[in-house]
Amino acid sequence: MELCKQKKREVNNMKIQIGEFKGHPFMTLVEGEGRSECKLNFGVKKAKMILAAIDHIKEFVAKNDNPALKQQPVLETIAEVDVKIE
C-alpha cells in the first residue's frame, strides 16, 4: 500500500508538491535547496485558514519583510476575525 503520492510543479522558483497521505490531500511548498531549504506542509483545513486570513498575512509580510527589522519584528495584536470555514 502506497502511503504518499505526489505531483510536482514549479512556480517562481518555488516547488509545489500536491499529494496524498493516507487518503488525505496535502500541499507542500518548497523554496531553496539543501541547508537553505524551507518547506511548508498543509492540508485542506489549514489551506482554508490561510485563505481566510490572506489579507492579514500579506499585511504581516509587508510590515516585517525588511532586513533592518530582522532583530526587532513588528508585533501587534490583530483584531479577531470571525470567519466561517466550510
Residue 35 belongs to a domain with what CATH number? 2.30.31
Q: What are phi and psi of 44, to 5 degrees?
A: -65, -45
In a domain, 9, yes or no: yes
CA dist 72 and 62 (Å) reads: 15
Q: Count the domains in the chain.
A: 1
pTM above 0.85, yes or no: no
Residue 1 pLDDT: 33
Residue 45 lies in a domain: yes
Extract the C-alpha cell encoding 3.
502511503
Asked whether residue 24 is domain-assigned, the answer is yes
The reply to whether 30 falls in a domain is yes
Structural domain harbouring 34: 4-69
Domain assignment present for residue 81? The answer is no
Q: Is residue 82 part of a domain?
A: no
Instruction: Report the pLDDT value the prediction gives residue 82, as an integer from 0 to 100.
Output: 65
Note whether residue 25 is domain-resident: yes
Give the residue ranges of the chain where pLDDT is below 50: 1-3
pLDDT at 40 (0 to 100):
93
pLDDT at 65: 82
